[in-house]
Amino acid sequence: MTKIVVANWKMNPQSVKEAENLFKEVSKVASKTKNTKIVVCPPFPFLFISQKLKNKKIIMGAQNVSIDEGGSHTGEVSPDMILSMGAHYVIVGHGESRSRGESNEIINKKVLNLIKFKLSPILCVGESNRDKDGAYLSFVEEQIKACLSGVPKSQMKNVTIAYEPLWAIGAGAQREATKEEFMEIKIFIRKVISDIYDSKTAHTVPVLYGGSVNSLNAGYFAKEGGADGLLVGRDSLNSKKFEGIISALK
């Protein structure tokens, strides 16, 4: 399975000029990269940059989407808008969105909406606490089942799942996961998908790791941990660090 590296720029950078410069630098990195799919997810206002500064080695993605297809929904962005900007992937269910009250039911509507418009969801799942009794497994299972409700088996080939434990993301991250923790959850995620659909389907879905990813631990998760790719936040804003992450996958 081809490795996938997703650059989630979050609410960065703060100007078009900065975004263009960053995209140019990432493009240089992408041009030297083989056997790795690079997905760049900038803030909505900067999606146009990929059409201005074209690079076939970069696949564009969006950081969210509306549950609605269009209409009177101030501040929302529809799947069609994202498609028209040349994006193919969309992050949904990110821990930062969930922390602002986004429920599994809302995320499920977004997933179904994306599939309807032939966009590929990157579904984020992950617990806020890793307890000794294993309740976090039930928590992640519920997220997966609820968010994939109604998704046909035939469409699962377009779905990517990113495991990003909330205790490992953002400025207040406690620590990164260990390779054992990720390997356990990856096996568990595949089991849940297998229970919903079947084993063959479960093994076609890429499972990424996200949470304090950097050039020092990227290879650790992708090689020793068995991750099919990485969801990168902060270090995707620095082209040298991002290149180090991609190089670590080789």
Q: How many CA atoms lie within 13 A of 137 on its CB side?
A: 15
User: Tokens 């996200």 identify what position?
Assistant: 210
Q: What is the pLDDT of residue 63?
A: 98
pLDDT at 215: 93
Provide the annotated active-site residues: 94, 164
Q: How would you write the chain as a 3-class SS string?
A: CCEEEEEECCCCCCCHHHHHHHHHHHHHHHHCCCCEEEEEECCHHHCCHHHHCCCCCEEEEECCCCCCCCCCCCCCCCHHHHHHCCEEEEEECCHHHHCCCCCHHHHHHHHHHHHHCCCEEEEEECCCCCCCCCHHHHHHHHHHHHHCCCCCHHHHHHCEEEECCHHHCCCCCCCCCCHHHHHHHHHHHHHHHHHHCCHHHHCCCCEEEECCCCCCCHHHHHHHCCCCEEEECHHHHCHHHHHHHHHCCC
State how far the Cα of 121 lies from the Cα of 107, in Å rounded to an integer: 10
Burial track 148-175 (b if 16+ CB lie within 10 A, e otherwise): beebeeebbebbbbbbbbbbbbbeeeee
Instruction: Look at residue 54 in the predicted model and tell me its pLDDT.
Output: 85
Residue 71 is predicted with a pLDDT of 94
The residue range of the domain holding 186 is: 3-247
Q: Global pTM?
A: 0.96
Q: 164 is written with which tokens?
A: 């990003």
250 residues of the chain, pLDDT tens digit each: 899 999 999 999 999 999 999 999 999 999 999 889 999 999 999 999 999 988 889 999 999 999 999 999 999 999 999 999 999 999 999 999 999 999 999 999 999 999 999 999 999 999 988 888 889 999 999 999 999 999 999 999 999 999 999 888 876 677 888 889 999 999 999 999 999 999 999 999 999 999 989 999 999 899 888 999 999 999 999 999 999 999 998 8
What tokens were used for 134? Answer: 């294993």
Using only C-alpha atoms, the chain has a radius of gyration, in whole angstroms, of 17
Look up the CATH number of the domain holding residue 239: 3.20.20.70
Among all chains, which residue has been given the structure tokens 């180090």?
A: 244
* Residue type at 89 in one-letter notation: Y
Q: Is the peptide bond before 45 cis (omega within 30 degrees of 0)?
A: no
Beta partners for residue 176, in sequence order = none
Q: Check residue 28 and give its pLDDT.
A: 94
What total number of domains does the chain contain?
1
CA distances from 166 to 106, 124, 186 (A): 19, 10, 16
